[in-house]
Amino acid sequence: MKYLVKPFEDVGKNTARMIVIFWIGALLLIWFLTSMGERHLFPSPQQVLTGFVELYNEGLVVHIASSLWLCVIAIFVAIIISLILTYLSTIPVIKPIAIAVSKLRYLPLTGITFYLAILISNARTMQIWVLVTFMSTYLTTSLLSMVNAIGEQEFDHARSLKCNRWEVLWEVVVKGRIDHVIEVIRQNLAIVWMMLVTVESILVAAGGLGFLIKNSDKFMNHGRIIALQIVILTLGLSIDFILSFIRKTFFRYSKI
């Protein structure tokens, strides 16, 4: 057993599964112990189960669909903006704009929503653009790092094949890094998912998982809050798995 606590130790698949099962069991045990008694840290499993039932009866599926649709639109717009800025950043006159956008990730949410409220009157549109702003800044930062990490030999190889500069951009940066783009999107998608609850509170009437959490918190229903956290985490991990599966399926020989 000593090898399990040594750094950089290689373990087999069965051993890795046993480790995961051990930690899941430990987490469930901690949850059970901390939910016992009159005063407890977490709601009991029974309260969480009851929360799931109540949420389902109140239209949980509809709220999930609303949140997913909001994220799909925001992610699509953010990807388009970030890819255009990143690819055009190879042009000297455009590069400062791309870098400036990446630096906007230090802006607080309050400042962004204040200026967006001045420009946009529709609350649903404002939700989308808050998410777009956040994801675009982080996505552009990661994509710029991806472009900067391309070895000079790859550009030289394209030039040796008589490619002009636009062809070099297309073959090396665009086509040659599609698998990396999917990986970058997968990693940065968590930012949008994490901001979901906060952004959906801008327009409560539109519903969504954020509305359900705010409503549950208002009435101090901790069982429902934990149930919603489980739903959000499960959906986020499912999206992450799908993107990872797509990358590994269509780009089997790519490396991170």
Rounded to whole angstroms, the Cα distance separating 70 from 195 reads 12
Rounded to whole angstroms, the Cα distance separating 29 from 21 reads 12
- The secondary structure element, H or E, covering residue 216 is helix 209-218
State the pLDDT confidence band at 205, using cuts at 50, 70 and 90.
low
State the pLDDT confidence band at 147, using cuts at 50, 70 and 90.
very high
Give residue 254's pLDDT: 61
State the pLDDT confidence band at 198, using cuts at 50, 70 and 90.
confident
Please check the confidence at residue 67 and state whether its pLDDT lies above 80. yes
Q: Which of 40, 44, 39, 34 is nearest to 223 (CA)?
A: 44
- CA 204, 205, 209, 211 dihedral sign is positive
- CA 219, 221, 225, 231 dihedral sign is negative
What proportion of the chain, given as a percentage, has pLDDT over 70? 92
Q: Which of 82-96, 111-125, 175-189, 225-239 has the highest mean pLDDT?
A: 82-96
Q: What is the pTM of this model?
A: 0.80
